[in-house]
Structure 1
Amino acid sequence: MKNTLKISLTTILILILNGCGKNEKKEQQPIEKETIVIQRDFGNWKTENQRLGVELNPKQFDNWFDLAERASKIVCNDSVPKITLKTGNEIRTIYLHNPCWEKDSYKIIKSKNVFEIHNDTIFKNKKNFFPLDSLESVLRKDIKNNGVNPMFSENSKKLIVSISYDKKNKFKRLLHHLDKLTDKYYGITNNTDIKIWLTNKDHLKLPPPAKKEIK
């Protein structure tokens, strides 16, 4: 009887020790940290059309002309073209502001209000050009100008960023350029109201130079 009691007590003690060991192991396991995903919408139209956003995937197009034309046709169908970027823990949805060229045969835009990126070069007024490494400084000057310098934008709300590429150029850098552009714009303005066009250069009509008065 005593031997049986000893065996039972020993068995219970072993079970208790094993249970404590398992609890200690559970407590020692590292706790996985939750990853916070940031969602930002750039170029928000704030209209009903935005609900009809149509995703554009540049990798599905063979050339720049087809991609830019597709963006315009989406607008002509009363929808909004958008491109989604996923970088680290951030998702950026960029709503494009392309005009419908079928309804508007051309748009007259003051060149001072256009911030043009063509391939890897920034153009202002067709006369001044800067390397893409100067993106932040030139963009900041355009946004903060407020009509002071006649070569830069009248108002940040009127500023249009036109992006285009040569037909032979590898436009696959578009996603990289959009990532860099939206990042710098948000850093300067703390806002996401950027207006971006995917442009075929033939469509971007600028007003003719002012005529000189004949005395």
Structure 2
Amino acid sequence: MEVDDFEEKYAKDTEEIDEIFKDLKRSEREGAQNILKYFDRIHDKLFTFNNILIAGYFALSQFFESFSVYGIIIPLINLALLIIIEYRMMEKSRFDAQVTKKPKDEIDQNGSKISRTTRYSLYSIISTSIVVGVFIFNLFNLDSKAVQVVNNNTTIQYSEYGYAQNGKDNLKVSLLISSFNKYGEIVDRIRQITCNDSIPKIVIKNRTIVRNIFPAENCEPIKFDPRGKHYVTFVDGKAYHNNGSKELSVDSLERMLLNDFSYYSTPNLTNEPNSYLVIIESKRNEKIIGIEKFISELTGAFDNLKTNLNLNIAFWEVVPHIPPPPEKPIELEKDE
């Protein structure tokens, strides 16, 4: 009786062990399938994201002059790595389809290949992260001299002038000359923005180009008295150079930039200017007629020079001439 009970219990325990073993084998198969499933899902997402990055790199090269089109090579190299991994996974599946016909040494070699493919997969995640990092770095370190395409397929070029163009975008305050009536108003507004630790930006735009001019301005007065050749004075909407009586000709602006507006802040052996400086001046109550057109012509002439130097434009007021006080009459001593 005891022997029968033992055999029955042994058979029951053996059946339970077999069931547990079958469950473990089933979990093992499902685990292997899940590895491949999640492997494919991860690489599908990496493929998709990398393709987005390729488009992003290409867009940056088209919209920003400072980003070379060759930057697209970075995500393309990463794409090549992802394709190699996919090819190795295809070869693994092809091997698994005939695994029972393969000799032991080839099965061992296949195991080593799978291990290397897993490492490559890790490398692809790291490389994609690097590609994203490079993309973000370039995105935040681009200049704003962009060429943008609008909905009507018209290409708009963006050009910037002045040292302050490299300042933070969130500090820049846009100004339209046409929104002011008197010259003194725009001078006051430029100084107000500067003294509030912001950057004034005068915007002049037409259908094909937008010019951003960052005026040279200091909140605190500084000792700075450039030569008269840098001055352009506006009287009744007309521009005069260096207090001359003859109206300035826009056709001569390129020559004037080279000969008159070139500025040498420090002496150098090459006789090359450090920048170009134009000081626009007028009386406070003068209207702003002609100023915007002059700046547009001036910046266009500057662009034609194809130089890497800065064009700095300042807005100053004409200081009224204050005559000296009358001399006191000399009293002659009377002879007693």
User: What is the TM-score of this pair, normalised by structure 2?
Assistant: 0.41
SS in 2 for 1:45: helix
Q: What is the deviation of 1:166?
A: 3.2
Query: 1:132 aligned to 2:248?
Result: yes
Structure 1 spans left out of the alignment, 5+ residues: 1-31, 148-153, 204-215
Q: Which residue of 1 aligns with 2:225?
A: 109
Structure 2 spans left out of the alignment, 5+ residues: 1-150, 266-270, 321-336
Q: Which residue of 2 aligns with 1:198?
A: 315
SS in 1 for 2:211: strand
Quick one: distance in 2 between partners of 1:118 and 1:144?
17
Q: Which protein is richer in strand relative to its size?
A: 1
Q: What is the deviation of 1:108?
A: 2.3
Q: What is the deviation of 1:162?
A: 0.6
Q: What is the deviation of 1:197?
A: 0.7
Q: What is the deviation of 1:142?
A: 3.1
Quick one: distance in 2 between partners of 1:60 and 1:88?
19
Quick one: distance in 2 between partners of 1:117 and 1:69?
19
> CA RMSD for the aligned pairs?
3.1
Q: Tell me the number of residue pairs that the alignment of Structure 1 and Structure 2 aligns.
A: 159
Structure with larger RCO (C-alpha < 8 A, sep 6+): 1
Q: What is the deviation of 1:122?
A: 1.3
Quick one: distance in 1 between partners of 2:260 and 2:171?
31
Structure 2 contact 279–314 (Cα < 8 Å) conserved = yes
Query: 1:178 aligned to 2:295?
Result: yes
Deviation string 1:29-82 (CA, Å, 9 cap, x unpaired) is xxx982211111111425545541111222332311121121112111111111
Residues 50 and 76 of structure 1: CA distance in aligned 2, closer, same or farther (over 3 Å): farther
User: Structure 1 vs Structure 2: percent identity of aligned residues?
Assistant: 21
Residues 130 and 40 of structure 1: CA distance in aligned 2, closer, same or farther (over 3 Å): same
SS in 1 for 2:258: helix
Structure 1 contact 143–156 (Cα < 8 Å) conserved = no
Q: For residue 166 of structure 1, what is the amino acid of its counterpart?
A: K
Structure 1 contact 44–192 (Cα < 8 Å) conserved = no
Q: Which protein is richer in helix relative to its size?
A: 2
The correspondence for 2:171, drawn from 52, 67, 81, is: 52
Q: What is the deviation of 1:180?
A: 0.6
Structure 1 contact 44–50 (Cα < 8 Å) conserved = no
Quick one: distance in 2 between partners of 1:192 and 1:88?
26
Quick one: distance in 2 between partners of 1:86 and 1:192?
22
Structure 2 contact 184–285 (Cα < 8 Å) conserved = no
Quick one: distance in 1 between partners of 2:175 and 2:263?
32
The correspondence for 2:199, drawn from 71, 74, 80, is: 80
Query: 1:66 aligned to 2:185?
Result: yes
Q: For residue 232 of structure 2, what is the amino acid of its counterpart?
A: I
Residues 111 and 49 of structure 1: CA distance in aligned 2, closer, same or farther (over 3 Å): farther
Q: For residue 37 of structure 1, what is the amino acid of its counterpart?
A: I
Structure 2 contact 181–287 (Cα < 8 Å) conserved = no
Q: What is the deviation of 1:192?
A: 6.5
